[in-house]
Amino acid sequence: MNGAAAPERSPSPSPPPPAQAQAQAPPSPSPAQPLEWRFSQVFGERSAGEEVQEVDIISAIEFNKSGHHLATGDRGGRVVLFERTDVKDHACRKDAEKADHSISRHPEFRYKTEFQSHEPEFDYLKSLEIEEKINQIKWCQAANGALYLLSTNDKTIKFWKVQEKKVKKLSEMNLDRSAAPANGSPGGVGYLSPSLSNGNALKPGRLPLLRLPVVTSQETSLATSCRRVYAHAHDYHINSISNNSDGETFISADDLRINLWNLEISNQSFNIIDVKPTNMEDLTEVITSAEFHPTHCNTLAYSSSKGSIRLVDLRQSALCDTHYQM
């Protein structure tokens, strides 16, 4: 007995792949390419074997507290400022966290401005040439949209202000500049028209129509000004400067002394640390660096050539001859 053939079953439809789903997930951002690190002491691309001018060699570099501005100094006494641009392209941090991915773009900085901070000098009393090389740069607290920073060479500290200024251009002035002046008088409609449109005589020196000037455009330019110059306070080369968290004072250190300054007073400083011995033959170490505490305005630390770090409290005495060694 022959059995009937079983009917053929059509294959069941397979579920659509995830890529064909109606709601597709947004593509994940491509990771940034790794940076290629190269050693360079100057700006710009340099070919192999190209001679580098000594004045172009970078001698100091400093970020501000927010990391949005970068200042560099070179051996030629110039200070160059850069501004971060990639932070303006991103959304706020909360939006990035909602997207569940981290921002992997590398920071980008663009040129902002540059200025000549120091010039070469000569000390005639000591027959010593003072070069213009920038030893250190420190950012100060910003105020009213302006940037403030300190720069120093071996002997002189300067306090700089960098601010954007808007230059306004006016148009529709009352005088018609296209008309030629008559009889030596300023060129204008009123001076050239002897009478008004209604036939009345125009009094001498009067204008037939008064038009107020209108601002047509505004251009933004960066203005740099030196607010203070702190000089003639160090017998030895300045190796470091440091801002205080109070926003009013800073310190400057050379090989044997540390001075305390007020930002608004340039002709007076206070010697708070002095390691100079009575007999210079007994000198065994020198100061190599000094730094204020980032938040406690009364605390500072300085290092010596022996590799030691000393912590000082300004509240103990005017002359900080006691310290804690680390």
Task: Give me the helices (H) in the chain, please.
Answer: 93-98, 189-192
Q: In degrees rounded to 5, what are phi and psi of residue 15?
A: -65, 145
Which residue ranges form the domains of the chain, and what is each CATH number?
A: 55-90+107-164+223-325 (2.130.10.10)
Element housing 35 (H / E): none
Statement: residue 192 has pLDDT above 50:
no
| In contact, 290 and 302? CB cutoff 8 Å | yes
Q: Per residue in 211-245, pLDDT tens?
A: 677 777 777 888 999 999 999 999 999 999 999 99
Structural tokens at position 245: 């968290």
Pick from 178, 244, 177, 176: nearest CA to 208 = 176
SS3 at position 250: strand
- Neighbouring residues of 148: CB distance < 8 A, sequence distance ≥ 6: 139, 140, 141, 142, 159, 160, 161, 162, 227
Of the pLDDT bands very low, low, confident and very high (cuts 50, 70, 90), residue 263 is very high
Statement: residue 1 has pLDDT above 50:
no
Mean pLDDT of the chain: 80
* Adjacent-strand bridge partners of 252: 241, 259
Please tell me the predicted confidence (pLDDT) of residue 37. Answer: 82
Please tell me the predicted confidence (pLDDT) of residue 188. Answer: 44
Between CA 206 and CA 202 the distance in angstroms is 7
Q: What is the pTM of this model?
A: 0.72
Element housing 262 (H / E): strand 257-262
Q: Per residue in 146-186, pLDDT tens?
A: 999 999 999 999 999 999 888 777 776 665 555 445 554 44
Statement: residue 91 has pLDDT above 70:
no
Please tell me the predicted confidence (pLDDT) of residue 193. Answer: 47
Give the lowest-confidence range in 17-31, 38-52, 109-123, 306-320. 17-31
Of the pLDDT bands very low, low, confident and very high (cuts 50, 70, 90), residue 139 is very high
Statement: residue 257 has pLDDT above 90:
yes
Please tell me the predicted confidence (pLDDT) of residue 271. Answer: 94
Structural tokens at position 261: 């300054």
Higher pLDDT, 170 or 119: 119
Between CA 308 and CA 3 the distance in angstroms is 102
Structural tokens at position 316: 């103990």
Statement: residue 113 has pLDDT above 80:
yes
Look up tokens 């933004």; give the residue: 220
Please tell me the predicted confidence (pLDDT) of residue 198. Answer: 53
The fraction of the chain above a pLDDT of 70, given in percent, is 70
Please tell me the predicted confidence (pLDDT) of residue 14. Answer: 54
Look up tokens 């209108």; give the residue: 214
Between CA 326 and CA 321 the distance in angstroms is 16
Between CA 326 and CA 323 the distance in angstroms is 10
Between CA 173 and CA 185 the distance in angstroms is 16
